[in-house]
Amino acid sequence: MNTAQLIDQLVAESVRVKTEFFQRNDADISSAAAAMANSLRLGGKILLFGNGGSAADAQHIAAELVGRLGPDRAPLPALALSTDTSVLTALGNDYGYHMIFSRQVEALGNEGDVAIGISTSGNSLNVLAGFDAARAKRLFTIGFTGESGGKMKDRASILFRVPSSVPNRIQETHITLGHILCELVDRELFPEAYAQL
């Protein structure tokens, strides 16, 4: 197989995974976006967390909400919990790495907020602990994970399981899902901005 054929194969597999995922999850995507929009409308915020590439996805989604994804509109309160190195290193040192997100959720989360946890395996201990803290504080929880769901299955109000066990394909689908959720939230909260398009 030459390089061009390999590229075609990788792209085809990425498209296949995304197509299958979005065909299966349109109702849950609509529900998740509605929960996010409702929280923001009532003065809540979105807390996002994950490790590695999933931390980058959490930061990316938060940036789309605080900044803008499409037409200009008011900023929306969203925070990625992997961005404050002083907090992360203090919590990791004093409490253990498994508590870096849960402690922040306890500090920053309020009833009515939304917590989005991202883990390709569904078994990241700090993401699971973040969900446990979110549920204890009555946040709405949304999980992004891979095919098995891992231990995240019992912790998310809505769980998005990408039909693949390959981290690359899972993460590619996660960021597409994040973009779609952000646009649905925007369209719900700022219909006048989209009416101009």
Residue 197 lies in a domain: no
Give the burial string for 11-42 (b: 16+ CB within 10 Å, else e). eeebeebbeebeeebeeebeebbebbbbbbee
Confidence (pTM): 0.96
Is 73 buried (19+), middle (13-18) or exposed (0-12) by CB count in 10 A?
middle
Residue 7 lies in a domain: yes
Whether the pLDDT of residue 196 is over 80: the answer is no
Whether the pLDDT of residue 158 is over 90: the answer is yes
Residue 125 lies in a domain: yes
Residue 195 lies in a domain: no
For residue 10, what pLDDT is reported? 97
Residue 162 lies in a domain: yes
Tens of pLDDT along 111-134?
999 999 999 999 999 999 999 999
Cα separation values, 143 from 95, 160, 161, Å: 24, 6, 8
Residue 1 banded pLDDT, cuts 50, 70, 90: confident
For residue 197, what pLDDT is reported? 75
Question: For residue 51, what are the domain limits?
Answer: 3-190
| CATH number of the domain enclosing 177 | 3.40.50.10490
Residue 51 lies in a domain: yes
For residue 151, what pLDDT is reported? 97
Residue 107 lies in a domain: yes
Q: Where are the alpha helices (DSSP H) in the chain?
A: 3-41, 53-66, 85-94, 102-108, 125-136, 167-189, 191-195
Once rounded to an integer, what is the mean pLDDT over residues 34-52? 98
Residue 196 lies in a domain: no
SS3 label, residue 109: coil
For residue 130, what pLDDT is reported? 98
* The total number of structural domains that make up the chain: 1
